[in-house]
Amino acid sequence: MTWAPFALTVTVVLSAGVATPAEARQRDADPRKVIVDADPGIDDAMAILFALRSPALEVLGITTVFGNAHIDMGTANALRLVELAGRDVPVARGAAHPLILPLAPPPEFVHGTDGLGNIAQSEPTRQPIEASAAEFIVSTARRYPGEVTLLAIGRLTNLALALALEPRLPALVREVVLMGGSASAGGNVTPVAEANIWGDPHAADIVLGASWKVTMVGLDVTTSVRLGDDRLERMAARDPRVGGFVYRITRFYKQFHDSMGVTGGFYVHDPSAVAYLIDPGIFSTDKARVRVVTEGIAMGQTIADSATRAQRWDAFKGRPEVTVCRDVDGDRLLRLFETTLTP
């Protein structure tokens, strides 16, 4: 096993982003400022709509990254989603490929050739902003020091690039909540690797090693929740525009899950990370230091070293503690998704 050759020096600036108790109370009462970094993607689309419709969240922008679709397709999908939600939220195009590895073909067998289940959509009427995803993340974090949460539901390339652009970023953002990885549930791309981490393991190792507060919503929880058609049909009936759209894009995704022998519905990976932001009490968590294998047959594996281990292995020394979601109340999560998306 070898570690990422791409080393970043992260300087923690204590003065920036540290709120007084009064500021922190006010901040916690307001909708939480969020940038959604995504690779839309069917479950990304569900997550973006979920976040845009939640009164608990203020989505400041959507940044896109390669993954479920090539970057231009994923960016067009983000623009379509903003339009569908009727919201004036900026979309910034991000990384087209991993930091070091060559680009792998998108998983069209999961998300369709258009990334949204092949439902023949019209061209978006909007354009992405000029700034890149990493530039947008940095400028927004500087604008609202200590307030912005990065919700990362794709490869972590944009976050790693933003860290390289602004080494003080960990002190400027409130926290990072990511869908990705697996502490003990195995993988979904390889026996040990989850897709978002496998797609850019070098970026993931940087992000999980930076000195910010990170929560990992991984396969440990996302594969124990299944969204079924009864709920989706109800949502489509209640709101034919948004609920109906979610129903239509998920037909392809459901077929994929059926073909994999997943019963009772399909996994809602990315919406689970949104649910964590809105109501973290749905999850139980523990702490671990996490490293990512960057090459070989275990590439993309997240190795979580429990906080209770007395002896620290050298590879984990100096790594920050990450909050790892371990269990989830699935009914509560699905209820929150349904009532927020189609109130």
Instruction: Give the nearest distance from C-beta 80 to ligand RIB in angstroms.
Output: 16
Residue with smaller CB distance to ligand RIB, 68 or 149: 68
Q: 175-179 and 226-227 as β-strands: parallel, antiparallel, unpaired? A: unpaired
Alpha carbons 132 and 292: distance in angstroms, whole number: 26
Q: Phi and psi at residue 332, in whole multiples of 5°? A: -65, -40
Residue with smaller CB distance to ligand RIB, 60 or 69: 69
Site for ligand RIB in 261-300 (CB under 6 A): 269-270
Among residues 111, 205, 269, 270, the one annotated as catalytic is 269
> In the set 37, 58, 135, 194, which binds ligand RIB (CB under 6 A)?
194
* Nearest by Cα to 101 from 296, 269, 233, 257: 296
Helix (H) or strand (E) holding 235: helix 229-238
Alpha carbons 227 and 69: distance in angstroms, whole number: 23
> In the set 33, 34, 44, 177, which binds ligand RIB (CB under 6 A)?
44
Residue with smaller CB distance to ligand RIB, 151 or 171: 151
Choose the binding region for ligand RIB from 41-49, 164-172, 254-262, 325-333 (rule: CB under 6 A).
41-49
The reply to whether 195 sits near ligand RIB by the rule CB under 6 A is: yes
Site for Ca ion in 33-52 (CB under 5 A): 39, 41, 44
* Nearest by Cα to 60 from 137, 152, 5, 171: 137
Reply yes or no on whether 39 is catalytic: yes
* Nearest by Cα to 194 from 272, 311, 282, 281: 272
Residue with tokens 């749905």: 282
Instruction: Give the nearest distance from C-beta 41 to ligand RIB in angstroms.
Output: 4
Q: 266-267 and 226-227 as β-strands: parallel, antiparallel, unpaired? A: antiparallel
The reply to whether 59 sits near Ca ion by the rule CB under 5 A is: no
Binding site for ligand RIB (CB under 6 A): 39, 41, 43-44, 67-68, 153-154, 179, 188, 194-196, 269-270
